[in-house]
Structure 1
Amino acid sequence: MTADRPACALTLAKRPYGRNHRFMDEQSPITPFPKPDKPARRGGQVAFRREELMRLMTVYGRFVSEGLWRDYALHMGAEEAEFAVYRRASEVPVYRIVKCPALARKQGAWRIQGMDGRVLKRGRALEPLLRYFDAKLLKLVED
């Protein structure tokens, strides 16, 4: 220390970046983040991709135009995503189209369930699964 400068001025003169810069030897020790009890889930939520949702809405639109379906609901949870269709808004769903990626290697990620919860069709891809509804729209036309 010199007599003409106070101690703090001498310390600031040694610092090239000014008052707020801290050197590595002046920092407090780094403490690691605590580890969670469970490993974190990747993704966290199962959802429909845009292409899947477009195909579902196409089938839904065809049935609405025929007057068979009136409402739909989406539910996206941690293990499965569900597209439910209704005849009326106050009923239980007529069909539930469920995407469950955990079953993709076993039984297929997709399934159609009826009103009573029975699995009507199961598949690995959405497009072949939705062909189930094609037979429901066929009408007998007389000449």
Structure 2
Amino acid sequence: MTEDFSSERRGADSEAGPVVVDLREYRQSRDPLPVTFHRRELDMILWIYGRMVGEGEWKDYAIDHLKDRAVFSVFKRSGEMPLYRIEKNPKLAAKQGAYSVVNTHGMILKRGHDLRQVLKVFDKVLKLVDP
């Protein structure tokens, strides 16, 4: 008296059997996670930011996590265009380097594989002053 519904569910894929799909992998393939800065990367960037705020050069910042890159924007005033953008683009990691510093006009000031080296663009050269 028991009915076998398994024969009704079988179609053209009856030999393959059921397919188990990991929901996390499925969601990532449909809507990939945005690119983010890791903790150590943010520590390096915020250390430079804090130094520049202390010198009175920078006033505000914004962090954007996009599908293809992460951007840390630095502002002199909050209503203006960013003075600098520190970008992380993983697609360029094997080529010119994932990290870059871009100025207001869109010119890349420094690019590389190591964020610490790229952030050296903000180091000021000490000048000898005659007494």
TM-score class, shorter-chain normalisation, is: 0.7 to 0.9
1:104 to 63, 76, 93: 93
Structure 2 residue 59 is the aligned partner of structure 1 residue 76: no
TM score, norm. by length of structure 1: 0.69
How many angstroms apart in 2 are the aligned matches of 1:43 and 1:33?
20
Structure of larger gyration radius: 1
Counterpart residue number, 2:53 = 64
In the TM superposition, what is the alpha-carbon distance from 1:48 to its structure 2 partner?
0.3
Q: Which residue identity is paired with 1:109?
A: A
- Structure 1 vs Structure 2: percent identity of aligned residues? 41
Residue segments in structure 1 that go unaligned for 5+ positions in a row: 1-24
Counterpart residue number, 2:13 = none
Counterpart residue number, 1:122 = 111
Q: Could you say what secondary structure the match of 2:29 adopts?
A: coil
Q: Could you say what secondary structure the match of 2:95 adopts?
A: coil
1:40 to 22, 29, 33: 29
| Aligned residue-pair number | 115
Cα deviation 1:87-127 (Å, max 9, x = unaligned) = 00011000000000010001100000000111111000100
Cα deviation 1:13-64 (Å, max 9, x = unaligned) = xxxxxxxxxxxx9775586579xxxx81695210000010011000000000
Indicate the RMSD between aligned Cα atoms, in angstroms. Answer: 3.0
Moved over 6 A (4+): none
Q: Could you say what secondary structure the match of 1:135 adopts?
A: coil
Counterpart residue number, 1:131 = 120
How many angstroms apart in 1 are the aligned matches of 2:100 and 2:50?
20
How many angstroms apart in 1 are the aligned matches of 2:32 and 2:115?
21
TM score, norm. by length of structure 2: 0.75
